[in-house]
Structure 1
Amino acid sequence: MGHSLKLTLIASIVCVMIAPTVWAQEKSPLNKAGSGEQTEGKIRQLSEIKLLNTSAKELVQSPTPSSPANQGSDRGGKVIQITSVKANPTAKGVEVILETPHGDQLQVTNRSTGNNFIVDVSGGQLRLADGNAFTFSSEKPLAGITEITVINLNANTVRVTVVGVAALPTVDLYDDDAGLVFAVATTATATSPQQPSQIPQAQQPDSETQPTQPSASGDEPIELVVTGEQDGYRVPDASTATKTDTPRRNIPQAIQVVPQQVLRDQGATNFYDAFRNVPGISQSGVSSRAIFQSLVIRGFTAYNTLRDGLYDLSGEFLGYDAAIVDRIEVLKGPASVLYGQGGIGGTINYVTKQPLSQPFYEVQGTIGSFDTYRGAIDLSGPLNDSKTLLYRLNLGAQTSDSFVDFLDTQRYVVAPKLTWLISNKTALTLKFEYIDEKKSLFDTGIPAIGSVLPNPNGDIPRGRYLGEPGGKNNDRIFRVGYNLEHNFSKNWQLRNAFQAAYVRLDRDTIATNTLQNDNRTVTRSGGIQDFQNDYYSLDTYVVGKFATGSIQHQLVTGFALTRLNTYTYNTFGPATSLDVFNPVYGRPQTTPTPVFISTFKGDALGIYIQDQISLFENLKLLVGGRFDIANQTGVDLLTSTTDFQQQEVFSPRVGVVYQPIPPISLYASYSRAFVPTQNVFSTVIPQPESGTQYEVGIKADLSNRLSATLAFYDLARTNVQTTDPSNPLLLIQTGKQRSRGIEFDLSGEILPGWSIFGGYAYTDARIEEDRTFPKDNFLNNVPKHGFNLWTTYEIQKGSLQGLGFGLGLFYTGERQRDLFNTFELPSYLRTDAAIFYKRDQFRVGLNFKNLFDVDYFESAANRTRVYPGEPFTVQGTIQWEF
């Protein structure tokens, strides 16, 4: 499992007019460095610590029960990836945290001179979560401190600098849940601290964690003590909303992050299982067993996705795979201001696993119900002695049957990445992904009459397949791209990323059309479908920090280019009808004939600018705008007809965050979005959809490990595409729809070992204007109420240390199947559970899904295609990291 290493620096003011106060400390006793003695009830002063050699001092690790140090890990001497730098003001100053995936020993060299406190951390390298090098800077974080910087000095050394105004900062140590904390203070004469905009507001200090009296003068040698901390369910930062690594509490829009730990604890290898964790998300009218993946966010279909922050139209085809994806970020509401054409209800960003600068090797094997077998290999580390070439290789393979008759699946994943640290200012990452999934059939579900609605002939078996065995439903995706980042200075950075994705969908199948009046016979048709989609995305932008007087700015500006090329080949022909209660397969089908052959091309250019502004230390403003030029050309190759459209759209966003007290953020925002649309079975290009959202909310850090968000929104959508009732292969634009709702999410650690990840969503999504469907009808596949809760507890001490248990409750309310609201899918509560054991680098777990074998329905496409959910399943997983 991943771990975080914290090197915490506290810059605090020491007033020369007031004598230092000695703070009592009631935490666990601390071992003196270099001795076996203990100090009870208080923190030792630096004068009490046996100092190490000032030219090369070891960073001593204070292990926690879950840390690799306590599990026999030994990675000393290898380059450690520092994935994030955070600055958190405290009641006494500001702490700077360097986070790494594992708790490891580092070497520190004290190079302080004059008013500059300087330490070089050997064996470390700054790397953002997306694999890019970067620098951190905080100007005038408080009185007496001119600047705090963290930079890559070379390929395996990180330099931390604290510049004092009048003197070298003094040093202090105190204990908290993260271990010993390193503090610096200054004898400045200023009377009030100042905090720049890039520093998050302080969390309330723990009442049991009080800093000690500053003890030693700043020129004394220092011993730094850090601790390994297990990755948790709370992820405080996200980049999707702003294209910068911004604390979620400073973002004036709801955003939720599903971290790797949650996905791993749940055994979420399935796309829809991963998104059950996000309130406000429901499944669209597609089977979870289909290759095509579709979600509804805040009542509206999530058309497009991101991959590592880059616009990715191929995400609806096998976007999620547990072997590749590290975490999932879901930004609620429009995001066109940064990403152009995109989902109105929300944007999904798949953050993939990136190369590490330390050796990491993991193998995983899973076996489960319905003959499920899965294996995965994760390898990473440096390729040369200088640690400037880093790699990651993710491999995965899975085969499984299903409760649906005749359905079996094989999936293969290959995903290598290579990072070249060209210099301490420039990094280039090359990435490649190949996913091949083969299914023996196209799941078309079962009719509503006989499943959701009563049928005089009885109930249709949930696993009944109404097509023909021996069909074909294959999907292949090939993605290739790069990510380049260059630091001009500590405040200005250039980022350039490109991805090409090639999707090939090959389908030869028979599907159901309608249920006849006898309520037992379905008409069918079938044919060959060949989709070839090529997606290209290029994004180039600059991130810069500057000040205008006392106002701090973080600017993002750039341009993006996207291209979509699509070739569609469809043949259809009638097939023999089938008795749903007594099916007889293998009857001949009429030879299908081509009915639709077309090409489609869509190009878009977007120019955008965004400014994150700190007007005061507790008042932040986010403003941005984007201008897009998008054109689409559709060609019907059977009729030689062409349609062309071009749109020019401006998408603004304005948001404000006010923090009346440090742990609380009140926010409000306004944003707009647009989506150029395409009808798969027609070259007639619809008008683009548009959306406008107003949102207000509260974000709270209930502790330094537990956070919550409460959001209220009003979202309007126009030019909406829905299925044409007279022809299910065509789409129509129905007018205006509106979604209003409330969302709440909670994530983090309640007590040591007890983690929680949950949420609730109330969604009132209705038709407002339409020529076909009645006003105030509910939107289809959108539950009014949804609830998710996943919680785990891991024993922290004793002979059972490492043993853990998990429980999940996932509730989905009633949903209308169609816009006429002719019938609804019933609500359901699914219960999942887990038991796991971790020791050293070994983990074994059992996951139980749908523990009580509840009959439920995932979604519905129409009255003939309703998709039952999976019955009770068990999967066991063994993981070994070495």
Structure 2
Amino acid sequence: MSRLTPSRCFNTPRSLLAMAICMATLNPALADDNSETQEPSPAGTMELGATEISNSQLGSVTEGSKSYTTGTMSTATKLPLSMRETPQATTVITRQRMDDQGMTSINDVVNATPGLFLDYSNGPGRQTYSARGFDIDNLMYDGIPSGYQGWTVGAQPNLAMFDRVEVVRGATGLVTGSGNPSAAINMVRKRPLAEQKVTLTGAAGSWDDYRGEIDVSSPLNSSGTLRGRVVTSYRDANSFIDDREEDHGLFYAVTEADLSEDTTLTLGFSHQKDKTNYFWGSSMVGLDGRHLDLSRSYNPGTDWENKDQEINTVFAELRQRLANDWKLQLNANYSEQNAIFQGSYQSRWAEDKSLGRTVYRSAHDENQAGLDAFASGPFDAFGRTHELVVGASERIYDMTDHNYSPYDLEWPLDGGKPNFVHTGNSRAVTTQNGVYMTTRLNLADPLKLILGGRLDWYDYDDKESSEGDYKVTRNVTRYAGLIYDLDEHHSAYVSFSDIFTPQTAKDASGKRIKPIVGKNYEVGIKGEYFDGALNASLALFRVDQENRAASLIDKSGCVDQTNCSEASGEVRSQGIDLELQGALTENWQIGGGYTYAPVHTIKDDANPQNENQRFDTDTPEHLFKLTTTYHFQGPLEKLRVGGNVSWQSRMYNDIALADGSSYRLKQGAYAVTNLMAGYEVDEHLDLQLNANNIFDREYYSSISSSVDYGGDTYGTPRNLMLTAKYSF
């Protein structure tokens, strides 16, 4: 139990933000019924009433905590650290926050997480995610990386089976191996509860959007050493877009067994099936490059299109407690995804720029396997206790593409469904093995040093042609972070992390160009208040992505003139990250942040005119996101209200026109505001109404980059969702 008084807001070094938060919590109107009685004030002084915030030392599991933050997370380094102890910008989207905002898929998490951007430029159902200006190409499940290709088979994991989502921004090669210096998104699954609990959820919303969910958890024997949980969910929805339909189904089962006092085994399975008939086509712009300002309900697609995905996953975890507080953990994950796509988008490829369609069909079999084993624990040296993690991992990504014809760029606008014919398959297998080590050295009481290293072997095997094969041998990834405790609430830190991305480009001699390297430099200050119930952070960062392949202008000396480049490209992102998450008072939760991340091309020998220019103009440089929920007390104690606002700066694309000029197509800065009200009828039944985009802001979530194909995608108009939850 922490007690706040005005003097404590100023007696120790604090940031202005922290002092403002501290003083805000002293408002007597917000004090709970258990606040201590105010003592008489000495003459000439004034004291504000004290506020108590109770907190039972938050753990890593967020379900049932009613919190917007967590106690510990290990996504950044494998070490179980609090946010204050982690020398990178971090966010956790807790189970409570998912429920308050009515989140159902990872898209909703990305929309709500500070510093992350949801990009629909590849089509409304082919979403990609980015952070600090770079695409996120890995999603993690219980700490195991899984390749994500949003523009092809990228699925949207159903949130009904997750306890929380942990996000670490910047280069995360220590835990993911290869990838971009963007962010790690780690989805942590729900586990069986110690007690029996059944939760039934039903939801109904605008445009015939209906969802049902059953969540059952119980001990499976009298001693409670065997526990199980089953979650099922189904959603059937239409849309504000004419004739758009989608449905999402999930079955998730997990069991946990205490094999002994020191050994716990977890086994689980999930089946997810998603289908939509609107995923590729976006609206066109005019030949002059301007928005056509079509109705938001306009559907540029056809009635024969569909995107059908089915994913089956099995996973296991073995935790073994060893002597001297050491532990051994083994995680395994295997998934099979079968996906079928057939669709079209409006396009103008003909010389006369007449309106037609591009049509395409493909099928994909994606198999992913991941294995991660590590030991962790304390050790003594130089009179102090330190921590160490040593582990090894393996990832296998096996993709088979089933190709069809026609793939036609000039199909008639009203040409009907093509007679697609299977023409063959292609397959590629990527294997990545790594060993890693992380240690946290206790240099002094207020000073900690985190050092980490990883060694990776990367092998891409093109099963169709051996000419496409390539390897990266013994790539070294580094991690370093220094954390200094300024006082009992604040820490300052500096950190460096990197990550590598293999590339297929070749140099003049025909050899593969060395991998792209992403480096993240960060300095910041973090605050932790009310025993960890509230976390705040301020970070300055710079991300450099180097060795990007740039095509050689003079190819006369190249062995392969169709693939001849040099490692000379460099892109830089640098900016600021601000975040606040957790409890301002016992009844008031908040989560939000602001990110400024301009990205510029530093070096591009192939296109020197791009140097010092924005790297990606249709990604906003500024992002602000804020979510809050307040539970009333006294006669209105069953009522809670909340809301969230999301603001982003402008996006634009310079579109080339037929006469050789260009037109700057823009989506100006905009904000979207959502509101929520909930009422706890009794200990079993809870009702909640979410009103989204309450001001009915009309905006484009993505914009076109060419007059030849569509790219304008409208954001969702005002809508409502009513949710009823019954627990027993």
Q: TM-score, with normalisation over the residues of structure 1?
A: 0.69
Once the two structures are superposed, what CA deviation does each residue of 1:590-628 show, in whole Å capped at 9, x if it has no partner?
A: 545667741101111101111011111110100010010
Distance 1:779 1:868, change over 3 A: farther
**Equivalent in the alignment of 1:195:** none
Opposite residue 874 of structure 1, the aligned amino acid is L
**Equivalent in the alignment of 1:668:** 494
**Equivalent in the alignment of 2:182:** 345
Does structure 1 retain, via aligned residues, the 8 Å contact 2:121–2:711? no
Q: Provide the rounded CA distance (Å) in 1 between the counterparts of 2:514 and 2:711.
A: 28
Does structure 2 retain, via aligned residues, the 8 Å contact 1:644–1:685? no
Of residues 532, 535, 541, the one that matches 2:374 is: 541
- Deviation, structure 1 residue 294: 1.7
Query: Which one has more relative contact order, counting CA pairs under 8 Å at least 6 apart?
Result: 2
Residues 1:810 and 2:635 are matched in the alignment: no
Opposite residue 735 of structure 1, the aligned amino acid is G
- Deviation, structure 1 residue 881: 1.1
Does structure 1 retain, via aligned residues, the 8 Å contact 2:630–2:640? yes
Query: 1:715-730 residue pairs with structure 2 within 5 A?
Result: 715-720=543-548
Q: Provide the rounded CA distance (Å) in 1 between the counterparts of 2:400 and 2:337.
A: 11
SS in 2 for 1:437: strand
- Deviation, structure 1 residue 231: 1.9
Opposite residue 625 of structure 1, the aligned amino acid is G
Query: 1:787-798 residue pairs with structure 2 within 5 A?
Result: 787-798=624-635
**Equivalent in the alignment of 2:192:** 355
Once the two structures are superposed, what CA deviation does each residue of 1:624-665 show, in whole Å capped at 9, x if it has no partner?
A: 1001010101133xxx56421110210001110001211011
**Equivalent in the alignment of 1:644:** 469
Query: 1:307-318 residue pairs with structure 2 within 5 A?
Result: 307-313=141-147, 317-318=154-155
- Deviation, structure 1 residue 233: 1.4
Residues 1:851 and 2:676 are matched in the alignment: no
Once the two structures are superposed, what CA deviation does each residue of 1:498-532 show, in whole Å capped at 9, x if it has no partner?
A: 1111111101222233377988x533122320111
Residues 1:826 and 2:695 are matched in the alignment: no
Distance 1:722 1:782, change over 3 A: farther
Of residues 512, 522, 539, the one that matches 1:711 is: 539
Residues 1:871 and 2:717 are matched in the alignment: yes
**Equivalent in the alignment of 1:471:** 305
Q: Provide the rounded CA distance (Å) in 1 between the counterparts of 2:571 and 2:512.
A: 20
Does structure 2 retain, via aligned residues, the 8 Å contact 1:537–1:560? yes
Q: Provide the rounded CA distance (Å) in 2 between the counterparts of 1:844 and 1:481.
A: 34
SS in 2 for 1:237: coil
SS in 2 for 1:248: coil
**Equivalent in the alignment of 1:275:** 110
Q: Please, which moves more after superposition, 236-245 or 413-422? A: 236-245
User: Is there any run of 5+ residues in structure 1 with no aligned partner, and where?
Assistant: 1-5, 8-25, 31-38, 43-64, 68-85, 87-96, 101-127, 132-228, 580-584, 724-729
Once the two structures are superposed, what CA deviation does each residue of 1:565-610 show, in whole Å capped at 9, x if it has no partner?
A: 111122233376567xxxxx4x345545667741101111101111
- Percent identity reads 25
Does structure 1 retain, via aligned residues, the 8 Å contact 2:123–2:279? no
**Equivalent in the alignment of 2:457:** 629
Q: Provide the rounded CA distance (Å) in 1 between the counterparts of 2:386 and 2:432.
A: 29
Distance 1:734 1:263, change over 3 A: farther
Opposite residue 661 of structure 1, the aligned amino acid is D
Does structure 1 retain, via aligned residues, the 8 Å contact 2:350–2:410? no
Distance 1:722 1:325, change over 3 A: farther
Of residues 328, 343, 359, the one that matches 2:165 is: 328
SS in 1 for 2:100: helix
Does structure 2 retain, via aligned residues, the 8 Å contact 1:779–1:818? no
Does structure 2 retain, via aligned residues, the 8 Å contact 1:129–1:354? no
Query: 1:486-525 residue pairs with structure 2 within 5 A?
Result: 486-514=320-348, 521-525=354-358
Query: 1:517-666 residue pairs with structure 2 within 5 A?
Result: 521-571=354-404, 572-574=406-408, 585=414, 587-588=415-416, 591-592=419-420, 597-636=425-464, 642-648=467-473, 649-666=475-492
Does structure 2 retain, via aligned residues, the 8 Å contact 1:541–1:556? yes
Q: Provide the rounded CA distance (Å) in 1 between the counterparts of 2:76 and 2:654.
A: 32
Q: Provide the rounded CA distance (Å) in 1 between the counterparts of 2:468 and 2:149.
A: 26
Opposite residue 844 of structure 1, the aligned amino acid is L
Of residues 129, 132, 135, the one that matches 1:298 is: 132
Does structure 2 retain, via aligned residues, the 8 Å contact 1:130–1:308? no
Q: Provide the rounded CA distance (Å) in 2 between the counterparts of 1:720 and 1:529.
A: 30
Once the two structures are superposed, what CA deviation does each residue of 1:844-877 show, in whole Å capped at 9, x if it has no partner?
A: 1111111111111222474322221111111110
Distance 1:230 1:478, change over 3 A: closer
Opposite residue 675 of structure 1, the aligned amino acid is T
Does structure 2 retain, via aligned residues, the 8 Å contact 1:574–1:592? no
**Equivalent in the alignment of 2:558:** none
Distance 1:41 1:828, change over 3 A: closer
Q: Provide the rounded CA distance (Å) in 1 between the counterparts of 2:124 and 2:233.
A: 18
Opposite residue 528 of structure 2, the aligned amino acid is D
Of residues 293, 300, 303, the one that matches 1:459 is: 293
SS in 2 for 1:249: coil
Q: Provide the rounded CA distance (Å) in 2 between the counterparts of 1:845 and 1:660.
A: 42
SS in 1 for 2:98: helix
Distance 1:245 1:288, change over 3 A: farther
Once the two structures are superposed, what CA deviation does each residue of 1:707-740 show, in whole Å capped at 9, x if it has no partner?
A: 21101101011355899xxxxxx99999221100
Does structure 1 retain, via aligned residues, the 8 Å contact 2:347–2:409? no
Distance 1:267 1:731, change over 3 A: farther
Q: Provide the rounded CA distance (Å) in 1 between the counterparts of 2:255 and 2:654.
A: 47
Opposite residue 856 of structure 1, the aligned amino acid is Y
Of residues 229, 245, 248, the one that matches 1:392 is: 229
Query: 1:402-413 residue pairs with structure 2 within 5 A?
Result: 402-413=239-250
**Equivalent in the alignment of 1:842:** 685
Q: Provide the rounded CA distance (Å) in 1 between the counterparts of 2:37 and 2:437.
A: 55
Opposite residue 612 of structure 1, the aligned amino acid is R
- Deviation, structure 1 residue 696: 0.3
Distance 1:860 1:566, change over 3 A: farther
Q: Please, which moves more after superposition, 481-490 or 493-502? A: 481-490
Once the two structures are superposed, what CA deviation does each residue of 1:418-475 show, in whole Å capped at 9, x if it has no partner?
A: 111101100010011110011124332112449x9536xx532333232321222101
- Deviation, structure 1 residue 536: 0.7
Does structure 1 retain, via aligned residues, the 8 Å contact 2:230–2:254? yes
Q: TM-score, with normalisation over the residues of structure 2?
A: 0.83
- Deviation, structure 1 residue 751: 2.7
- Deviation, structure 1 residue 320: 2.9
Does structure 1 retain, via aligned residues, the 8 Å contact 2:124–2:281? no
Q: What is the number of equivalent residue pairs in this alignment? A: 653
Q: Provide the rounded CA distance (Å) in 2 between the counterparts of 1:258 and 1:567.
A: 34
Residues 1:740 and 2:586 are matched in the alignment: no
Q: Provide the rounded CA distance (Å) in 1 between the counterparts of 2:619 and 2:343.
A: 29
Q: Provide the rounded CA distance (Å) in 2 between the counterparts of 1:273 and 1:415.
A: 20
Q: Provide the rounded CA distance (Å) in 1 between the counterparts of 2:317 and 2:393.
A: 14
**Equivalent in the alignment of 1:694:** 521
Of residues 337, 354, 367, the one that matches 2:204 is: 367
Query: 1:78-157 residue pairs with structure 2 within 5 A?
Result: 129=61
Does structure 1 retain, via aligned residues, the 8 Å contact 2:123–2:280? no
Distance 1:467 1:759, change over 3 A: same
SS in 2 for 1:337: helix
SS in 1 for 2:79: coil
- Deviation, structure 1 residue 130: 10
Query: How large is the RMSD of aligned CA atoms in angstroms?
Result: 3.4
SS in 1 for 2:540: strand
Q: Provide the rounded CA distance (Å) in 2 between the counterparts of 1:702 and 1:288.
A: 43
- Deviation, structure 1 residue 340: 1.1
Once the two structures are superposed, what CA deviation does each residue of 1:723-767 show, in whole Å capped at 9, x if it has no partner?
A: 9xxxxxx99999221100101011122233222111101011111
